[in-house]
A and B are shown apart, each in its own frame.
Chain A
Amino acid sequence: QVQLQESGPGLVKPSQTLSLTCTVSGGPIYRGGYHWTWIRQHPGKGLEWIGYIYSGGTSYNPSLKSRVSMSLDTSKNQLSLKLTSVTAADTAVYYCARAPYSSSTIFDQWGQGTLVTVSS
């Protein structure tokens, strides 16, 4: 059973870069077939798709594309998210999740989520 675990700073200052890592256990991320995805949820609000990464590339939410980058570290079995120039509007719970190539919104495995607060 694949498990995902997010980690990173819980507090980021405005204008700085938010950096999160998702460690995957129970299976190698380099094995084809999955889009490794980041999703966020603003406090008390709905879910927002940030984007995904896989061995063949990335796809980002157009509204965040100018500030987002994702990467894979196959040696550590991790995926990472960077979001630049953050503001209070980026305060949210950030989830990593897995979706098969066949449908990029079938998120069958999720991390537990990590709250990131943007504040000075």
Chain B
Amino acid sequence: QSVLTQPPSASGTPGQRVIISCSGSSSNIGSNTVNWYQQVPGTAPKLLIYSNNQRPSGVPDRFSGSKSGTSASLAISGLQSEDEADYYCAAWDDSLGGVFGTGTKVTVL
């Protein structure tokens, strides 16, 4: 029941920049802030970006977020091998409650 759409996969070589998109609607991204999570398989998700573009303490500054209209993006600059994981966007939907993106698997080539 994912109402936020992400590309299923993204990849890059070490050092490259990777951008993941998250597309929603006026009832979610268009009217509420976006958060991003990183999930290494077999572990719980970890908060990566909150309130569109804020990094929690301890998250490297090569991770950045942005939002425009009903879409948001997560950028990973200087891709590293430990960035290989699944990434999810999340937002509040005014009708549905909490909604997540479909998820993007990032592969470091």
A residues near B, CB below 8 A? Answer: 37, 39, 46-49, 51-52, 59-63, 95, 103-108, 110-113
A106 touches B51 (CB 8 A): yes
Extra inter-chain contacts (14) besides given A37-B98, A46-B101, CB under 8 Å: A47-B88, A47-B90, A48-B1, A49-B90, A49-B99, A61-B1, A61-B96, A95-B45, A103-B51, A104-B92, A104-B97, A105-B91, A105-B99, A107-B35
B50 touches A112 (CB 8 A): no
With most chain B CB atoms within 10 A of its CB, the pick from A47, A105, A108 is: A105
B47 touches A63 (CB 8 A): no
> B9 at interface (Cβ–Cβ under 8 A)?
no
What's the least CB distance linking A90 to chain B, in Å?
A: 13
Q: Determine the distance from Cα of A63 to Cα of B37 in the docked complex, in whole angstroms.
A: 23
**Using an 8 Å CB-CB cutoff, how does the interface string of B80-98 with A read, 1 for contact, 0 for none?**
0000000010111001111
> B33 at interface (Cβ–Cβ under 8 A)?
yes
User: 6 closest A-B pairs (Cβ-Cβ)?
Assistant: A49-B98, A110-B44, A47-B100, A105-B90, A46-B103, A106-B50
